[in-house]
Chain A
Amino acid sequence: MNTLRFREDVCERCPTIDCMAKCQYISFNSLEDAHKEWMKVVYGEESKILQQCVTCYACEEYCKRGNHPYFMICEQREKKGMLSAPRPITNQWINMTQMQGKFFVGQVEEKALSCCLLPELLGLGTGELFKDVQQSQVFGAEFMCPAVHSHFAKMSVIKERLPVVIENFHKLGVKEVIFLHDECYGTFTVIAPAYGYELPFKPVYYMDYLVQRLTDLKDRIKPLNLKVAYQRPCSNRLIPDKLVLVKKILNMIGVELVERKYQGENALCCGEIFRAVSGYKLASDVQNKNINDMIEAGAEYCVFNCPACQVSLSEKVTKKGLKPIHLIDLCKMAIGEK
């Protein structure tokens, strides 16, 4: 089984310790304290970080030195037999995402459109925007990025399944895979190299694909003139360079992204995983802070990138007067499909 490529010396010499200093969920007395606690994690010692991490992925973005603090936390937790979430919930996720031969593969040639194990993506990846690739949809645990198991400190499941998923794509003979789920793209472009897995195909981020399609369909776009807030998903922290695409796409369809407190690096998690990891209080506090911030910023819509975030927050944002919508559906609205 491959191991995490991690440079301890980079952390030892790190003057900013951004990974921990910027953490929204763990408090440190000082920068020195944060560094000390972090190095305990790196050296495999006991640390409050291992007890308190809520698995939001953000430290992956905060670290600008190419290390993988989040994966290191997850690895150390697993080594120590620590559970981040209750054991039955952890095992349910492992069982639920097991490959059972219940997958779907469309007419795949050089390209495939990956819908992960999220049924909503089968519907989203259709219409004029996806007309050239919608017939090549693939769906199922056999093609699912296993990154979700990091929330449960089960990196061994990721390491066991990721090469199988890569091989499954390889068997399709595709040259390019467009990933509709952020977490998939993050898995293949960040987790795979971090563990030394090579890809026999080129991963394409769906927002890059959307930008191209919206350019092609420029004449059909009717500006929506809406104000929206964006719900950034946890796994987007793996690919922070892609965050700019949200604003770019919204600009293309005449939608204003409102400025708010919890955006960019300061974004808040949808809270769903906090329910499992921590309980009611943290999940509820984070969700309320987040939604109130969207409203105070003047948003009319809450725009989602990840269907899992959308499922967990839709009801709550609706109750507070915001309309939940996926970014792809918003684009479909702009070209008159919705």
Chain B
Amino acid sequence: MSDILKTLIEIVGPKGVSNNPEEIWYYSRDPGVLEAHKPDFVVAPKTTEQVQQIVLLANKENIPIVPMGNGMSLTGLVIPLKGGIVLDMKRMNKILEVNPVARYVVVEGGTSQGVLKAYLQKHYPQLRHSLPDAPAATTIAANVALHGQGKLTQQYGFNSDMVTGLEVVLPTGKICRIGSPSIGSYWFSKGPSLPDISGLFLGWLGTTGIITKVGLMLYPNKKFREVELFVTDRVELIPEILYKLTYIELLEDINVWFAPRPLVFKDTFQITIYFTGDDEEEVEFKRKMLWNAMQQYIDSKDGGFMSIQYLKERLLEMPQRGVAEFADVPKGGGFEYSGPIIPIDHFPRYAAKLVALAQRYNLLYSGAARLISGGHSMMFAISFAFNRDDKGMMERVKQALDEATQFALEQGGIPWKPNFLEQRMILERMDPNTRDIFKTIKETLDPKHIMNPGNWEIS
């Protein structure tokens, strides 16, 4: 047995470490199209102190560390590109505190979205968090670390904007608290009125530290949640429709989606609009306002509300299963997307690009966009489904996604959760002075280049 393995066992116990081939195989890949890379060890700590000791060991032995939530980014962010330790955080899954009046929760760095949702439903039914449309096993820390979005993103911004404090193990092994918990015991602010240094860890994809605790804003969980589905066949109208919907400032979540199948949705763009209320009067008031906002399109016959009684249950699911079902349309259960963050007025050009890419690479496509912060921007998912048993199809998906990222950059968009190749494309395009700041931050925090190497790598 190697000394490193022995030390890791001493830190987390024998059940928390593995270098068995089956675990190594599993942790060498993610569900997307990128090539697998084997880690040397898989380690599952239970405490911040164990994380610290592992990082100190990695420093001493110069071993890469890749922090991992549930590994569902699809863009290979937890594939250990240079081997080393994959740090599976899922055993750190405790909910440490809920402040129901100040509306925040503090969770450990491996706590899943599903665990928090269930906990709040049971103990604080009046509260909710911004649940992403991802499997329930995905983790909160990973989601904020890659600027994820969720059901409340239209109202309140990226899920990372909802962070109220962090505990991070730095690449050097120091344990560091960010925001209000750095000077007291309350987790209500990640920055203000201090300089906001949470940005040193959010969006860095695990290259600047390991998040071991997260404070997260909670929001009112209204008694009723409703949905309407507005449909148009004129893509050029989508930006102004979204503008009018967000103008009324009453809606929870707004998604736009389109796909060639099933037939009922062919050649149309669907806008799913969610709203909530504590009683019938509140719900109906909001419904009336959003219908009135769309009346001009009904009158001009360019858009209308679809009858959704048969779809309603599915549309109200949290998280939604539709994404997983799309993956299985060509059979073989794979899908990946490029999801740039873009201004909402760019929707039509991205929609056209998606269809063109699907035609050129002979792929099944799905487009979906989620509004962010009242319509200041949107995430536009350029998605392709593929059969995992068809290498040619997977390669075509990879090429199409690379082209989509290139397109997004040319249009001034920002690729979301970019894979390491897309990160290079971003850095090449980035203002050199900004890139220097990136480099300075990375080298200051991670002088030995051990944190998720291969990602945000600036030569």
Contacts and interface: CB of A to CB of B under 8 A. Distances in A.
Interface string A100-116: 10000000000000000
B300 to A, nearest CB: 8
A83 B233 CA distance: 14
A85 B233 contact: no
Nearest to A119: B310
Contact of A92 (B264, B280, B298, B302): B264
A319 B280 contact: yes
B263 A87 contact: no
B309 interface: yes
B292 A96 contact: no
B303 interface: yes
Contacts of B298: 86, 278-279
Contact of B297 (A86, A92, A311): A86
B185 to A, nearest CB: 45
Contacts of A276: 304-307
A66 B304 CA distance: 34
Contacts of B302: 86-88
Given A91-B233, A275-B305, A100 B291 contact: no
A95 B266 contact: yes
B295 interface: yes
Contacts of B264: 92, 95-96
Nearest to A84: B301
B287 interface: yes
Given A279-B291, A279-B298, A85 B263 contact: no
A278 B305 CA distance: 10
Contact of A280 (B292, B301, B306, B307): B292
Nearest to B284: A284
Contacts, number: 67
Q: Which of A275, A311, A319 has the most CB of B within 10 A?
A: A275
A312 B307 contact: yes
A80 B303 CA distance: 20
Interface residues of B, number: 28
Given A98-B263, A276-B307, A312-B307, A87 B291 contact: no
A88 B233 contact: yes
B263 A95 contact: yes
B331 interface: no
Contact of A100 (B232, B233, B263, B303): B263
Interface in B296-354: 297-299, 301-307, 309-310
Contact of B231 (A92, A279, A284): A92
Q: Which of A85, A86, A87, A319 has the most CB of B within 10 A?
A: A86
Interface in B262-294: 263-268, 280, 284, 287-288, 291-292
B301 A86 contact: yes
Interface string A1-37: 0000000000000000000000000000000000000
Contact of B233 (A87, A275, A312): A87
Contacts of B309: 272, 311-312, 315
Contacts of B284: 284
Interface of A: 83, 85-89, 91-92, 95-96, 98, 100, 272, 275-276, 278-280, 284, 311-312, 315, 319
Q: Give the 6 A-B residue pairs with the shortest CB-CB distance, closest first.
A: A86-B304, A280-B291, A96-B264, A311-B309, A88-B233, A89-B304
15 contacts: A85-B304, A86-B297, A86-B298, A86-B302, A86-B303, A87-B233, A87-B301, A89-B305, A91-B268, A92-B265, A95-B266, A276-B306, A279-B291, A279-B295, A284-B284
